[in-house]
Structure 1
Amino acid sequence: MSKAPSLSLAAYRVLSWGLPKSKGGSLPPRPEGELIWLHAANKHRLRAVNDFCHRLIQSRPGLSVLMTAPPDADVETWPHSDALLINLPVENPGAARSFLDHWRPDLGLWVGGGLMPNIITRAAERGTPLILLEAENDVRVALAGKWLPDIARHTFDSFRTIHVTSEDTARQVRRLGIAGSKVALFPPLRVNPTLRSWPEDELIETNHVLAGRPVWLAAWVEATEFISVLSAHRQAMRMLPRLAMILHVADMSEVGPLRKRLEAMDLRCANWEDGDMIEDTTQVILASDPEDLGLWHRVSPVTFMGSSLEQGRGGQDPISATALGSAVIHGPYVQNHQEIFDQLDEVGAAQAVNTATELGDMVVELLAPDQAANMALAGWQMVTDGAPQVDTLIEIVQEHLDHRGVDYAGS
Structure 2
Amino acid sequence: MAEPVPMGLALRAYLAASPLIALAGPLVLRRRLARGKEDPARVAEKRGHPSAPRPPGQLIWLHAVGLGEVLALRGLITALARAEPELHFLITSSARSSAQVIASNLPPRTRHQFLPLDAPRYLARFLDHWQPALSIWAEQELWPGAVVAAHARGVPLALVNARMTDAGFARRAKAGGLYGDLLARFARITAQDARSAAHLRALGGDGVWVSGSLKSAAPPLAADPATLAAAKAAVQGRRVWVAASTHPGDETQALAAQAALWAQDPRWLLILAPRDAARAGAIAARLTDARLPFARRSLGRVPASGDAVWLADTYGELGLWYRLAEAALIGGGFDSIGGHNPWEAAHLGAAILHGPDVANFIADYKALQDEAAAIAVAPGALTAALQQPDLHHRAARAQAIVTRAADALDPLAADLLRLVRP
Pick the TM interval, shorter chain.
0.5 to 0.7
Shift, 1:343, TM fit: 1.5
The residue correspondences of 1:81-100 to structure 2 (distance < 5 A) are 83-84=112-113, 86=115
- Structure 2 unaligned segments of length 5 or more: list them: 26-46, 103-111, 164-168
Q: Pick from 15, 18, 21 the counterpart of residue 24 of structure 1.
A: 21
Q: Pick from 375, 391, 416 the counterpart of residue 351 of structure 1.
A: 375
Q: Pick from 378, 381, 403 the counterpart of residue 384 of structure 1.
A: 403
Counterpart residue type for residue 36 of structure 1: I
Counterpart residue type for residue 17 of structure 2: K
- Distance in 2 (CA, whole Å) between partners of 1:256 and 1:222 is 14
The residue correspondences of 1:2-401 to structure 2 (distance < 5 A) are 20-22=16-18, 23-25=20-22, 27-29=47-49, 32-33=54-55, 35-38=59-62, 46-47=69-70, 50-52=73-75, 55=78, 63-65=88-90, 67=92, 80=98, 83-84=112-113, 86=115, 104-110=131-137, 126-131=153-158, 133=160, 155=184, 159=187, 187-191=211-215, 192-197=218-223, 199=225, 202=229, 206=233, 209-210=236-237, 214-219=239-244, 228-236=253-261, 241=265, 244-248=268-272, 250=274, 251-253=279-281, 261=289, 265=291, 273-275=300-302, 277-278=304-305, 282=306, 284-290=308-314, 293-306=318-331, 308-310=333-335, 317-332=341-356, 338-340=359-361, 343-348=364-369, 349-355=373-379, 357-364=380-387, 366=388, 368=389, 370=390, 372-394=391-413
Shift, 1:288, TM fit: 2.4
On the 8 A contact 1:21/1:89 being kept in 2, the answer is no
Deviates more, 1:56-65 or 1:374-383: 56-65
**TM-score, normalising length from structure 1?**
0.58
| Identical residues among aligned pairs (%) | 21
Shift, 1:196, TM fit: 0.9
On the 8 A contact 1:223/1:254 being kept in 2, the answer is no
Q: How many aligned positions are there?
A: 355
Shift, 1:347, TM fit: 1.8
SS at the partner of 2:69? helix
On the 8 A contact 1:297/1:321 being kept in 2, the answer is yes
- Distance in 1 (CA, whole Å) between partners of 2:252 and 2:212 is 40
Shift, 1:105, TM fit: 2.8
- Distance in 1 (CA, whole Å) between partners of 2:160 and 2:91 is 16
SS at the partner of 2:243? strand
Counterpart residue type for residue 272 of structure 2: H
Shift, 1:376, TM fit: 1.6
Shift, 1:244, TM fit: 0.7
Deviations 1:137-188 (A, max 9, x none): x999x9699xxxxx99x957x73x6768899x89x99xx9x9xxxx797724
Shift, 1:329, TM fit: 2.4
Shift, 1:12, TM fit: 5.7
- Distance in 2 (CA, whole Å) between partners of 1:396 and 1:122 is 23
Shift, 1:24, TM fit: 0.8
Shift, 1:387, TM fit: 1.3
Q: Residue 261 and residue 51 in structure 1: after superposition, are their counterparts in 2 closer, same or farther (change >3 A)? A: same
- Distance in 2 (CA, whole Å) between partners of 1:166 and 1:254 is 37
- Distance in 2 (CA, whole Å) between partners of 1:113 and 1:314 is 15
On the 8 A contact 2:10/2:176 being kept in 1, the answer is no
Shift, 1:45, TM fit: 9.0
